[in-house]
């Protein structure tokens, strides 16, 4: 997954993420059975109301009954998201996922909602942007040698690492950070923000043939 790449989603981010990843085999564990619904809050490795394995991950659930008996599962969790590059996530992400078996693998659909904190890409002021990610993930049996650092580590045998899945989804869907759609950016002369209250007091600069303010506004960045 490409790290640090952002999409120009404006003040409110909404992204759709989907991929196929192989499944890595590992010893099976016991889950909560058919129609399992997990509810809880993950914070500092503590979880209420879910199958939980604390070794190396804040939230890992067992999906054995789904893989072997085809029993669907649902998950509704608050999951901490670690900082990524210059972005932080002040509150846990709200994750709602439906899991079902597809052939020999698992299809995961749902949503991830989280606030992303960073600096405005135009004026560098602090800004927090809400982001919603529509999740469409499929994990299939491996076709070859697996990458120990790859996406497939989200599902290892019958253990689904929800925390790592959330981390990858959030990192892959980061929005372009803007304090507002009409942010004027930084002044080319004094370097201060040209927004109201931003500190720039530079007078308009006129050039030949220019009948108005010629300080160049930072133009909106086109979508990639």
Domain ranges of the chain: 13-172, 184-224
DSSP 8-state class, residue 153: G
> Starting from the edge strand earliest in sequence, which strands make up the sheet with 60-62, in order?
60-62, 159-161, 155-156
Phi/psi at 175 (5° precision): -80, 165
Residue 150 corresponds to which tokens in the numbers above? 């790859």
CA 45 – CA 25 distance, rounded (Å): 24
Inform me whether the pLDDT recorded for 28 exceeds 50: no
pLDDT digits (tens, 9 = 90+) for 127-182: 999 999 999 998 776 554 444 445 556 877 788 889 999 999 999 999 899 999 99
pLDDT digits (tens, 9 = 90+) for 79-132: 999 999 889 999 999 999 999 998 888 899 999 999 999 999 999 999 999 999
CA 186 – CA 168 distance, rounded (Å): 32
């Amino acid at each position: 997954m490409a790290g640090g790449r952002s999409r120009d989603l404006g003040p409110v981010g909404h992204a759709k993420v989907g991929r196929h990843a192989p499944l890595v085999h590992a010893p099976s564990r016991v889950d909560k059975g058919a129609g399992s619904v997990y509810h809880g809050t993950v914070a500092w490795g503590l979880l209420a109301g879910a199958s939980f394995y604390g070794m190396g991950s804040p939230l890992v659930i067992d999906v054995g009954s789904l893989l072997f008996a085809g029993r669907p599962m649902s998950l509704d969790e608050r999951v901490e998201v670690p900082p990524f590059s210059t972005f932080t996530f002040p509150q846990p992400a709200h994750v709602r996922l439906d899991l079902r078996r597809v052939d020999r693998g698992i299809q995961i659909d749902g949503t991830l909602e989280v606030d992303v904190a960073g600096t405005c890409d135009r004026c560098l002021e602090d800004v927090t942007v809400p982001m919603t990610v529509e999740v469409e993930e499929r994990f299939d049996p491996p076709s070859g040698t697996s990458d120990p650092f790859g996406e497939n580590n989200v599902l290892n045998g019958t253990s689904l690492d929800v925390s790592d899945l959330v981390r990858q989804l959030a990192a892959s869907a980061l929005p372009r950070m803007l304090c507002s759609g009409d942010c004027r950016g930084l002044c080319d002369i004094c370097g201060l923000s040209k927004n109201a209250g931003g500190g720039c007091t530079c007078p308009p600069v006129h050039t030949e043939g220019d009948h108005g303010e010629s300080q160049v506004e930072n133009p909106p960045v086109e979508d990639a």
